[in-house]
Amino acid sequence: MLTRRRHPPARLIRPRRSPLPSPEPNNRLRLLSFNIQGGINSSGFHHYLTRSWQHLLPHPRKQDSLSRIARVVRDFDMVALQEVDGGSFRSSYVNQVRYLAEAAQFPYWYQQLNRNLGRVAQHSNGLLSRFHPEIIEDHRLPGLLPGRGAIIVRFGAKKPQLTLAMLHLSLGSRSRLRQLQYVREVIGDEGEVVVMGDLNVHHERITRLSALEDIDLRSPEGHFPTFPSWQPAQSLDHILVSSGIKVHQARVLDFAISDHLPIAVEVELPAPLINPS
């Protein structure tokens, strides 16, 4: 049985803010999850070879990709980002989470650094939010190799709360199961839950065959393939919600700028669990 003592404790932090105001409380939320591949524009398997150098070196096209991504994410309330760079040589020292927050006018953003290669690369996850998080927790997930993380975001000063778990899970099945067990311990049993991110596995492996099974998560998008973006065949990216959250719309966006397509879900909360700033 995993316990938190076996892993570094979470860092409780305050979100970094822009001067933009938050919207009024609303039970309806537009959620998006997107693995942006560091801004590398991939449109075929051959780009894994011909553009592999962009994982370590800058390219002007990355900034154009970020600008296009900003125009897409601005239509949403909360965005989970995977494979973003925190401001290193390969991204021309642009913190990609901050850039997207400012370009798309999100008042709250957070960058989670998962694999620190110094000035060369800052492999990260990211959060963009139009609502004020009560708590953000930064968790390092267990696994054979370092570099996987979870951002746990809690909304609402009083229980029940809304808890968002934003994840980028490992490729290996054993590591994923350990990571999900760890996340289950962190989430707890209060309030409604949303799990979103690049989970690297079909949703049934999360909702029925993992430690998250007892939360009664469901996949509103069903089988919506997101990978590879140029010929989608695998459902690797998900937004899973607990039973008290009503789903109004779920879709994969036709926006092939990364090797993953973004996935979007519009939900309705059972009560106004989110407070304004």
pLDDT at 186 over 80: yes
Q: Collapse the DSSP code of 235 into the 3-class scheme (helix H, G, I; strand E, B; otherwise coil) and give the result.
A: coil
Name the pTM for this structure.
0.88
The pLDDT of 23-51, averaged and rounded, is 73
Provide the mean pLDDT of the chain.
Answer: 84
The winner for highest mean pLDDT among 5-14, 173-182, 209-218 is 173-182
By percentage, how much of the chain surpasses pLDDT 70? Answer: 82
Compute the distance between CA of residue 262 and CA of residue 108 in angstroms, rounded to an integer. 20
Helix orientation angle between 96-103 and 60-73, rounded to the nearest 10 degrees: 50
The DSSP bridge partners found for residue 109 are 16, 128
Compute the distance between CA of residue 238 and CA of residue 212 in angstroms, rounded to an integer. 14
Q: Give 49-69 pLDDT, tens digit per residue.
A: 545 545 555 577 888 999 999
Terminal C-alpha separation, the chain: 38
Domains of the chain are 4-268 (3.60.10.10)
Instruction: Place 5 in a pLDDT band, splitting at 50, 70 and 90.
Output: very low
Q: 261: burial class by Cβ within 10 Å (0-12, 13-18, 19+)?
A: buried
pLDDT at site 158: 74
Nearest Cα to Cα of residue 134 among 112, 159, 115, 113: 159
pLDDT at 99 over 50: yes
Compute the distance between CA of residue 14 and CA of residue 18 in angstroms, rounded to an integer. 13
The DSSP bridge partners found for residue 137 are 12, 152
